[in-house]
Structure 1
Amino acid sequence: MSKFPSLRRPAAVGPAAARPVGAPALTAAPRDYTYDGTFEGLLTVLFTVYDWRAAPNSIQPEATAQTGLFAQPAHRATDETQATRVWDGLLRAMTAEARARLYHVFLSEDAEREMLIFRYVDLALRTAADISENYTDATVRRVQRLAQQMFREKHRMEAFVRFEKTSDGLFHANIEPDYDVLPLIAPHFTKRYADQRWLIYDRRRRYGLYYDLTRTDIVQFEETGAPARATDVAATVLDEREPLFQVLWQAYFDHVNIPERRNLKLHRRHMPLRYWKYLSEKQPRAQPFQPIQNKRPPQPGPPLLGAE
């Protein structure tokens, strides 16, 4: 897991710790930067921008870079030392929360995320005051909006992940979030399910999180042969009790449901339709739902006090 999303912040020095304004003027000819697509690679590009004093015309992952006919892309190999200097140095220009938003913007996979992050950083470096709530600025508004969207997606993934148990005791779950939220949900599942091995796999981005009872690692592997449904794990590797667990969960969901209070519009707002294919309670029932017949019929007895 990357070390850069850490929210550690050095203690303020002096009253209110005034923010220095120290960004050099970008006087050299603008460049078209490319990098390896990692967050550390993007931080290396930011270091290069101010080291070369050359503003970016564009910043693009090398694998998908599209440049003009006469452009000369400047590829920057990831440098961990430079990336760390930039990540730590950002705390002199913004709060830890604002810095974390930049990482969330990167994970949002927005088409303009690299230039958006550069503009936000450059604005923070050239402004003595905290810019994180300066919503009159379009860049700040866009960063805040993307960060909010990431927070909602993270919250939904933490609520909607459904595991299936395999025969070797591994709990497996598939997800397809709108944004790349796996790095954000890793701490939640590592803490909540610390006593069992689990794998959460993002089918859209083809990588996952694997917890082996000691640590959580990023894993990546090739898919060989699609199962019958996107939600299926091969039946031969599932625990023999897994179908029973799913039936029990579906029965619980059906029994706590109150048909008279059904509000499908509100339900879809809190549980969007795109998540349903990975939710056990939204799959076709193996057996029809039958309400529990546990209500006693009215019993004859003496009239109530005050009754005529």
Structure 2
Amino acid sequence: MRGVPTDRRQPPALPVDPHLAVETDGTFAGLLCAYAEGYRRGALPVSVGLIGEPASGALFGDVVRVETEAAVADRVERGLEQLVPGLVGRLRRAVLSERPGIEVAALRLADAVRAEGAAPAEDWTFEPARVVAQWSGRVGREAHRMEAFVRFERHDSGGAETWVATTRPEVHVLPILHPHFEARYPTLAWRIVDVRRGLALVHTPAPDRAPGEPASRIVPAATVGLGDPAPDEAAYQTMWRAYFQAVTIPERRNLKLHLRHVPRRYWPYLTEKQAPGG
């Protein structure tokens, strides 16, 4: 009837199907494609696993393999970002926490926003929103600490200079570290090695990159030639430790406060925390 407004509300939030599990390539784009597949089926999966490592949790159902399609992932990402600016970044960080079940929480939050608008994203009584916010914040804090605690040492690899840092982050922060370090060290060849996950974030300076090649990429650490420490590296590390010792004021030491800002788990990878000759 003319003059009567049309109901343009989205369909209600999708249920979680206990018989549906999906497997993806493990990328965030793959997860967005899994959401598109769930929307097409009219139900979200109860679990998400890696291709080749089937998801667990589905009852008597088949595992659906979802291929990653850039166009589909981009469409879903744009739609979510229009509904809640910043939500995509929050979801991406949360998924990097590697917490069991976080992918399903991310899918449920994305679908709730699709169905109801922005409100569910800030509703802490809604478990997916609360869990995503919690783990997104934790990943963000870990990335911020990595930006401060990464220590590079100069290596010689086949006559080429390479800067190598070793880390052991609690969560998978390598995918979100590259903007900081690319901006800070754009002209250096550097590698940040995550020994917990056996991965390395590898940066190639512009003159050495092929056309269209990204500035940084994540590869298995075993495939990266790190070379050996440069002959003068030990001397520079000794000077760095001497500097920290010189600026320390013993009377103002507060170990409790120090540990709050620099937890002990980072110490094995901080040059200034190593004994001389260690």
Q: State the TM-score, normalizing by the size of structure 1.
A: 0.77
Deviation at 1:208, TM superposition (A): 1.4
Corresponding pairs, count: 257
Paired with 2:101 and 2:59, the residues of 1 have a C-alpha distance of 21
Paired with 1:144 and 1:68, the residues of 2 have a C-alpha distance of 26
Q: What letter matches 2:75 in structure 1?
A: R
3-state secondary structure, aligned to 1:103 = helix
Paired with 2:164 and 2:15, the residues of 1 have a C-alpha distance of 53
Q: What letter matches 2:30 in structure 1?
A: G
Equivalent residue number for residue 139 of structure 2: 150
Deviation at 1:150, TM superposition (A): 1.2
Deviation at 1:218, TM superposition (A): 2.2
Residue 21 to residue 143, structure 1, CA distance change in 2 (3 Å) = farther
Q: What letter matches 2:230 in structure 1?
A: D
Paired with 1:27 and 1:239, the residues of 2 have a C-alpha distance of 58
Counterparts of residues 5-84 of structure 1 (less than 5 Å): 21-23=9-11, 26=14, 31-62=20-51, 63-67=53-57, 70-84=60-74
Paired with 1:34 and 1:286, the residues of 2 have a C-alpha distance of 48
Q: What letter matches 2:222 in structure 1?
A: E
Give aligned-pair identity as a percent: 37
Residue 43 to residue 199, structure 1, CA distance change in 2 (3 Å) = same
Deviation at 1:64, TM superposition (A): 5.0
Equivalent residue number for residue 278 of structure 1: 269
Residue 67 to residue 161, structure 1, CA distance change in 2 (3 Å) = same
Paired with 1:113 and 1:41, the residues of 2 have a C-alpha distance of 14
Q: State the TM-score, normalizing by the size of structure 2.
A: 0.84
Deviation at 1:22, TM superposition (A): 2.2
Contact 2:22 2:55 in 1 (8 A): no
Q: What letter matches 1:179 in structure 2?
A: V
Paired with 1:49 and 1:175, the residues of 2 have a C-alpha distance of 37
Contact 2:22 2:45 in 1 (8 A): yes
Q: What letter matches 2:22 in structure 1?
A: Y
3-state secondary structure, aligned to 2:116 = coil
3-state secondary structure, aligned to 2:35 = helix
Equivalent residue number for residue 181 of structure 1: 173
Contact 1:207 1:219 in 2 (8 A): yes
Paired with 2:262 and 2:16, the residues of 1 have a C-alpha distance of 50
Deviations 1:243-281 (A, max 9, x none): 000000000010111111111111111001111001111
Paired with 2:43 and 2:240, the residues of 1 have a C-alpha distance of 58
**1:137 pairs with one of 126, 149, 152:** 126
Q: What letter matches 2:194 in structure 1?
A: D
Paired with 1:248 and 1:105, the residues of 2 have a C-alpha distance of 39
Paired with 1:114 and 1:54, the residues of 2 have a C-alpha distance of 15
Contact 1:24 1:50 in 2 (8 A): no
Contact 1:176 1:203 in 2 (8 A): yes
3-state secondary structure, aligned to 1:170 = strand
In structure 2, list runs of 5 or more residues that go unmatched: 1-7, 207-214
Equivalent residue number for residue 195 of structure 1: 187
Paired with 2:87 and 2:16, the residues of 1 have a C-alpha distance of 29
Deviation at 1:43, TM superposition (A): 1.0
Equivalent residue number for residue 238 of structure 1: 229
Q: Which has the higher helix share?
A: 2
Deviation at 1:60, TM superposition (A): 2.3
3-state secondary structure, aligned to 1:151 = helix
